[in-house]
Amino acid sequence: MIPEPAENVLKAIAIRGLRKFYDHHAVVDGIDLTIPAGEFFGLLGPNGAGKTTTLRMLLGLTPIDAGTVHVLGRPMPECEREISSRLGVVPQFDTLDPDFTVEENLLTYASYFGLSRAALGNRIDELLEQANLENRRGSRISALSGGMKRRLTLARALINEPELVILDEPTTGLDPQARHHLWRQLRALRKRGVTLVLTTHYMEEAEELCDRVAIIDAGRIIACASPAELIAAHVEPWVISLNAASARRFIADPATLPARMLEIADTWLIYTHEPGAVRAELDTAGLPHATRASNLEDVFLKLTGHDLRD
87 is a contact residue toward other proteins (CB under 8 A):
yes
Q: In what order do the strands lie in the sheet with 238-243?
A: 260-264, 267-272, 238-243, 290-293
Query: Is residue 2 close enough to count as binding other proteins by CB under 8 A?
Result: no
Which of positions 136-165 make contact with other proteins (CB under 8 A)? Answer: 157, 160
Mapped onto helix, strand or coil, the DSSP state of residue 275 is: helix
Q: Which stretch binds other proteins (CB under 8 A): 96-104, 169-177, 184-192, 283-291?
A: 96-104
Among 38, 113, 241, 244, the residue binding other proteins under the rule CB under 8 A is 113
Task: Note whether 109 binds other proteins by CB under 8 A.
Answer: yes
Asked if 172 interacts with other proteins (CB under 8 A), we say no
The correct pick among 104, 126, 229, 281 for binding other proteins (CB under 8 A) is 104
Distance of alpha carbon 132 from alpha carbon 120, whole angstroms: 19
Considering beta carbons, is residue 78 or 263 the nearer one to other proteins? 78
* Residue 62 per-residue DSSP state: S
> CA 29, 35, 38 angle in degrees (round to 5)?
155
| Closest distance to other proteins from the beta carbon of 95 (Å) | 4
Residue 243 binds other proteins (CB under 8 A): no
Q: What are phi and psi of 178, to 5 degrees?
A: -65, -40
91 counts as binding other proteins under rule CB under 8 A: yes
Select the span of 72-80, 214-222, 224-232, 292-300 touching other proteins (CB under 8 A).
Answer: 72-80
Q: How far is the CB of 250 from other proteins (least distance, A)?
A: 54
Query: Hey, what amino acid is at 51?
Result: K
**Residue type (1 letter), 167:** L
**Contacting range for other proteins; rule: CB under 8 A; set: 7-15, 61-69, 240-248, 289-297:** 61-69
Task: Note the Cα 224 to chain centre separation in Å.
Answer: 13
Residue 271 CB, nearest approach to other proteins (Å): 41
Cβ atoms of 108 and 97 closer than 8 Å: yes
The answer to whether residues 157 and 140 touch, using CB atoms and an 8 Å cutoff, is: no
- Gap between the Cα atoms of 297 and 281, Å rounded: 26
d(CA 21, CA 104): 39
Residues at the site binding other proteins, with contacts judged by CB under 8 A? 59-64, 77-78, 80-82, 84-85, 87, 89, 91, 93-100, 104, 108-109, 111-114, 157, 160
